[in-house]
Amino acid sequence: MGHVRREVPLALLLAEFRVKHHARTSKNTKKPSCPFQRTGVQHQPIFPVHPIFLSLGPLKIHWYGVFVALGFLAAFKVFHKRAPRIGLDLNEAGNLVVLLFLAGIVGARVYYVILNWQDFSAHPLEIFRIDHGGLVFYGGFLMSLLTLWLWCRWNKRAFALVMDAMVPALAIAQAFGRVGCFMNGCCYGRECDHFWAVRPGSPPEVAGHALHPVQLYETFGLLDIFLTLLVLEKLRRYPGYVACSYVLLYAFLRFFIEFFRGDLPRVILGRFTLAQGLCAILFAGAWIISTRLARRHLRSRNNVSSPSTS
């Protein structure tokens, strides 16, 4: 009986310890940082994102700059392979890629600075730190397009043929650039509770939050576009066909992905971003140009095939 009297208080003490431990654990448990995350689900991202690739004392090398450089090298390789098909020697092709790359960087940065002038007005030297991120595709695309048109006029080259050879290189360069955006934490997505969500280390307003990896969505989409363009090159129906196909495909991709972006305001009808408006314009313009080029090509073929009359 004495043995039983010692066992009963011990069981009660163990039960009381479990209750207190459970209450203490529940109190210290952090709430999920994502407001859309299911309660009680321990969300684990694929991996946390950090913008710094390498630190050497005061020198910091950012992932963004690394992937922009890789994108340039990939574009250089892709266009080099296609240059002889349109009558360009390798030196001429290399110079053109460098020229368009620099024009694209300048245009993309100028567009970004204009959109975010309030941030740069207080720190004007930050304008030149493109390794920190801050390039807008549309600015770079339009500047490169204008530069290529002027180059073709100056060198008496067919603009449509050069564009057909250039757009696969552009697509692969964009894919690398978007990985740079992902590592940098810019161009981030909306909050979500999916198992593939990521938690960037920057910028501060979303650091640690579970977000859609929209940069990777676009990367995979651009890789698909790149492969599609390789197929369309073999089916090219008329000069400019591949270039127009690229614009149509990318405008559609970007318009869809913008719904998952979390860093851009919905300025058009309260539902669409400015980028989506530009996508619609680019899609419509490419469709009209493609239709006209196809009709012109068809008329020229009919004129050549029709017998001459005296």
Residue 260 in this model has a pLDDT that exceeds 90: yes
Residue 82 in this model has a pLDDT that exceeds 70: yes
Q: What is the dihedral of CA 285, 291, 296, 297, to 10 degrees?
A: 120
pLDDT, residue 36, reads 35
More confident position, 128 or 173:
173
pLDDT, residue 46, reads 53
Distance CA 42, CA 29 (A): 11
Query: What are the residue ranges spanned by the domains of the chain?
Result: 59-292
pLDDT, residue 250, reads 96
List CB contacts of 36: < 8 A, sequence separation 6 or more: 191, 192, 193
Residue 1 in this model has a pLDDT that exceeds 50: no
Residue 295 in this model has a pLDDT that exceeds 60: yes
Residue 287 in this model has a pLDDT that exceeds 80: yes
For residue 135 the two structure tokens come to 């390039």
pLDDT, residue 242, reads 95
Class of residue 108 by CB neighbours under 10 A (exposed 0-12, middle 13-18, buried 19+) = buried
pLDDT, residue 3, reads 47
Considering 88-92, 100-104, 222-226, the range whose residues carry the highest mean pLDDT is: 222-226
**Residue that has been written with the tokens 């004007």 in this structure:** 124
**Residue that has been written with the tokens 């994102």 in this structure:** 49
pLDDT, residue 307, reads 55
Tell me the per-residue pLDDT of 36-65, one tens digit each, with 9 for 90 and over.
Answer: 333 333 445 455 677 788 888 788 888 888
Residue 68 in this model has a pLDDT that exceeds 60: yes
> Which residue from 98, 111, 117, 171 is spatially nearest to 139, judged by alpha carbons?
111
Query: In Å, how far are 11, 84, 97, 134 from 186, measured between CA atoms?
Result: 56, 37, 26, 8
A 10 A CB-CB count for 247 gives 21
Q: Which amino acid type is present at position 55?
A: S
Query: In Å, how far are 77, 78, 170 from 184, measured between CA atoms?
Result: 25, 26, 21
